[in-house]
């Protein structure tokens, strides 16, 4: 049993990580500025889960959180997430993503806490130089989100070098599954298919990106927490494959017969003139060798699980 603080605990990843940690008996403190029904239901179910409401950019909130919890590790997930959100709010992105992480690192340093497990992103790489990249790929992030995520990694390395902390960065890619709060493929196509609504995108079908099912992401976080000595400070928690968006739409159509979906060829952009950088697959050899991490969900299995969960959720609200 460990004592773990999870920041961003109300989010898509955070709520899944909190539930998994609490279910296996860890003492979990879930920190977020919001506390939705799922988190509250988890707190009612698990006596070893404590909810703390607070703002990651507020020094007092962060110090008080860590002083009271005295965690063995902090899993840091709180952030303004996504390229589009960061373009809409670049100052807030820097304040929350970099300032928030610095509050956690500084408070940990002052309190003598050692383990910081940070959720990073494939956006730290900028344009991928090849179809599948390792953790040694150069980091040339563009746009505020990727820049903020890379800044946190680099700042944390100072805390390792100068203050003897242990900071591990999990670089994941497009995480999907039930509960994703943002409109993104495959969610948008799964939702449309199950509601019987048409969805036709003019372009984007040739875009390839590693898509990680939420269950695999959680398994990766637990594997990093459970390993005591890390030789590396960054791991890809992904699948090692990069299906095209066209392949994804085809899988949804197979799983939901009669779905009226299509996607045209060409690159993908986020809209509002924000093009994606070139992406691809994240090689997971290091995580496999060091952590025993083996993704269980290829894209077909992940979409099938997501379709079933969405079907159940729609039936429950009908």
Ligand X SMILES: NC(=O)c1ccc[n+]([C@@H]2O[C@H](COP(=O)([O-])OP(=O)(O)OC[C@H]3O[C@@H](n4cnc5c(N)ncnc54)[C@H](O)[C@@H]3O)[C@@H](O)[C@H]2O)c1
Q: Where are the beta strands (DSSP E) in 8-76?
A: 27-32, 49-53, 73-76
The token pair that represents 66 in the structure block: 């860590």
Q: From the CB of 260, what's the least distance to ligand X, in Å? A: 27
Q: From the CB of 173, what's the least distance to ligand X, in Å? A: 6
Choice between 177 and 205, CB closer to ligand X: 177
Footprint on this chain of ligand X (rule: CB under 6 A)? 8, 10-14, 32-34, 55-57, 77-81, 96, 100, 119, 121, 172, 174-175, 181
At residue 108, the 3 state secondary structure works out as: helix
Nearest 5 degrees, angle CA 215-CA 297-CA 313? Answer: 55
Q: How far is CA 192 from CA 98, 103, 213, in A?
A: 36, 41, 19
Choice between 13 and 66, CB closer to ligand X: 13
Choice between 14 and 205, CB closer to ligand X: 14
Who's near 249: CB < 8 A, 6+ residues apart?
Answer: 185, 186, 189, 205, 261, 262, 263
- Residue whose C-beta lies closest to ligand X: 11
Q: From the CB of 316, what's the least distance to ligand X, in Å? A: 21
Q: From the CB of 312, what's the least distance to ligand X, in Å? A: 21
Choice between 12 and 116, CB closer to ligand X: 12
Q: From the CB of 79, what's the least distance to ligand X, in Å? A: 3
Choice between 23 and 89, CB closer to ligand X: 89
At residue 154, the 3 state secondary structure works out as: helix
User: Which residues make beta-bridge pairs with 119?
Assistant: 170
């Amino acid at each position: 049993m460990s004592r773990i603080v999870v920041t961003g605990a109300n989010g898509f990843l955070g709520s899944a990580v909190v539930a998994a940690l609490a279910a296996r008996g860890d003492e979990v403190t879930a920190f977020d500025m919001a506390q939705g029904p799922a988190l509250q239901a988890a707190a009612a179910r698990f006596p070893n889960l404590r909810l703390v409401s607070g703002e990651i950019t507020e020094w007092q909130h962060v110090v008080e959180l860590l002083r009271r919890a005295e965690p063995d590790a902090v899993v840091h997930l709180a952030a303004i997430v996504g390229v589009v959100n960061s373009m809409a709010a670049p100052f807030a992105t820097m304040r929350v993503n970099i300032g928030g992480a610095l509050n956690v690192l500084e408070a940990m340093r002052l309190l003598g806490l050692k383990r910081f497990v940070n959720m990073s992103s494939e956006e730290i790489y900028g344009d991928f130089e090849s179809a599948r990249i390792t953790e040694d790929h150069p980091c040339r992030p563009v746009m505020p989100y990727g820049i903020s995520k890379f800044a946190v990694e680099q700042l944390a390395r100072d805390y390792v070098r100068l203050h003897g902390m242990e900071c591990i960065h999990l670089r994941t890619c497009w995480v999907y599954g039930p509960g994703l709060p943002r409109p993104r493929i495959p969610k948008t196509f799964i939702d449309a298919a199950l509601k019987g609504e048409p969805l036709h995108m003019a372009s984007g079908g040739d875009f390839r990106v590693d898509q990680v099912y939420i269950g695999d992401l959680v398994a990766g976080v637990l594997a990093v927490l459970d390993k005591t000595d890390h030789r590396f400070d960054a791991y890809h928690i992904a699948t090692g494959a990069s299906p095209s968006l066209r392949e994804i739409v085809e899988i949804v159509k197979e799983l939901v017969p009669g779905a009226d979906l299509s996607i045209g060829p060409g690159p993908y952009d986020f809209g509002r003139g924000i093009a994606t950088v070139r992406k691809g697959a994240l090689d997971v050899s290091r995580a496999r060798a060091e952590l025993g991490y083996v993704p269980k969900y290829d894209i077909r299995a992940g979409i099938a699980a997501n379709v079933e969960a969405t079907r159940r959720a729609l039936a429950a609200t009908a």
